[in-house]
Structure 1
């Protein structure tokens, strides 16, 4: 899909100058630098000036946040100070978009429950392979699974035209509330070695309206090679534009 198609489907006006802040860091296994570098040129082609930070410190800068149309966060785990979180939430409530993928948004700042409330879904686990297959690498958690689009996805600018698709990577089991607008789900099966007794369906792609701001979350995106899957690439690009002020 071309950039023009992505912008059109998202109802996005690429002629209006915008400002994006990219916050990246945390656990290196999610390749926060390489992953965000995939999308910075895309944003620049759509009229954004982009500033990049390696901590959530800019969230505490009210003047900067007031001038920010979109925050792209790829910060797995780590911590956030009270004034930083307060600034982030205030910016979103005032209309700044907040978007990200995988653990960079759905597994950030575990010690701050108000952040989990803001995002609406929290990574709980990613059940992996059979215990006999484990080798102590990230690949222990790579399993085949399907992303399934809900009926609402057919007409939504982020997901229109994207059908169900399969991945082999981490499958996120997400704890969420019913204020998330779910566009796609994934279902964790029950395998002979699992302690749960029925399949568990989690949101895989969702949006959330918070004050005047839009939030977009895509749980696929463990590493660059997953973000480069055509469906994931399209969903993230559209989600960034959709979330922007």
Structure 2
């Protein structure tokens, strides 16, 4: 199938090692030779990047050097697939505007529970919400056959542009303790064409149990295959 580069690191709260380890057997079973790196610095190596068909990134927040970011952008434009989930792709390298443009969407917040119900831990932001497949998503190879599904976890509010092709959305309702005045719909799963490359972003994935949800895992795994240069060339 080709060469896959797994890049992981950043904020440890998203369990980058354990999360990416969940998908290494899938990549191997689908014929990828997998190389794992604990820093985005590998993106600055043109020989590695030109031989890479798929990048799976799980790096929340953190920072990226200019040469590495330029290498990532050039590789994707040349046909390398780029995918990931949750903060590992949609909340990476906040200070790098060229990265945000590449991905097309950026985590803004995850609204919380009613204040009196908060315990002072991460569950304060665990809301039951629905991921709704769009009309485009119903026919797309990544999401075809899936129905709307419900999760109780962080619900990402995403700032995005209209170059993304949205396969699924989630809607943040109006609540008395929040300052917005009408429901806000955010993309939950999207693809993006960038030069010859394909990008797939799946916003659910805060914890290992969410990544093992049947629908979430299906989207991530199909997204890897769809994004890969080997698939886009076929």
Normalization by structure 2: what TM-score? 0.97
Instruction: Specify the alignment match of 1:142 in structure 2.
Output: 126
Q: Deviations over 1:169-188 (max 9, x none)?
A: 00000000000000000000
2:74 is aligned with 1:90: yes
Gaps of at least 5 residues in structure 2 are 230-234
1:61-100 paired onto structure 2 within 5 Å: 61-100=45-84
In 1, distance between residues paired with 2:201 and 2:208?
A: 17
For the residue of structure 1 that corresponds to 2:219, the secondary structure is helix
For the residue of structure 1 that corresponds to 2:21, the secondary structure is helix
Q: Deviations over 1:102-151 (max 9, x none)?
A: 00000000010110010000000000111112222111110000000111
Instruction: Specify the alignment match of 1:227 in structure 2.
Output: 211
Instruction: Specify the alignment match of 2:175 in structure 1.
Output: 191
Instruction: Specify the alignment match of 1:154 in structure 2.
Output: 138
Instruction: Specify the alignment match of 2:160 in structure 1.
Output: 176
TM-superposed CA distance for 1:154, in Å, is: 1.4
Instruction: Specify the alignment match of 1:204 in structure 2.
Output: 188
Residue 10 (structure 2) aligned to one of 16, 20, 26: 26
For the residue of structure 1 that corresponds to 2:22, the secondary structure is helix
For the residue of structure 2 that corresponds to 1:179, the secondary structure is coil
Instruction: Specify the alignment match of 1:243 in structure 2.
Output: 227
In the alignment of these two chains, the number of paired residues is 229
In 2, distance between residues paired with 1:192 and 1:155?
A: 37
Q: Deviations over 1:180-227 (max 9, x none)?
A: 000000000011111000000000000000000000000000011001
In 2, distance between residues paired with 1:223 and 1:137?
A: 14
2:112 is aligned with 1:128: yes
Runs of 4+ in 1 over 6 A off after TM superposition: none
2:101 is aligned with 1:117: yes
Instruction: Specify the alignment match of 1:6 in structure 2.
Output: none
TM-superposed CA distance for 1:162, in Å, is: 0.3
Instruction: Specify the alignment match of 1:216 in structure 2.
Output: 200
Residue 55 (structure 1) aligned to one of 39, 50, 55: 39
In 2, distance between residues paired with 1:106 and 1:119?
A: 7
In 2, distance between residues paired with 1:142 and 1:189?
A: 14
In 2, distance between residues paired with 1:176 and 1:114?
A: 14
In 1, distance between residues paired with 2:25 and 2:194?
A: 27
For the residue of structure 2 that corresponds to 1:171, the secondary structure is coil
2:36 is aligned with 1:36: no
Q: Calculate the aligned-residue CA RMSD, in Å.
A: 0.6
In 2, distance between residues paired with 1:130 and 1:113?
A: 33
Instruction: Specify the alignment match of 2:87 in structure 1.
Output: 103
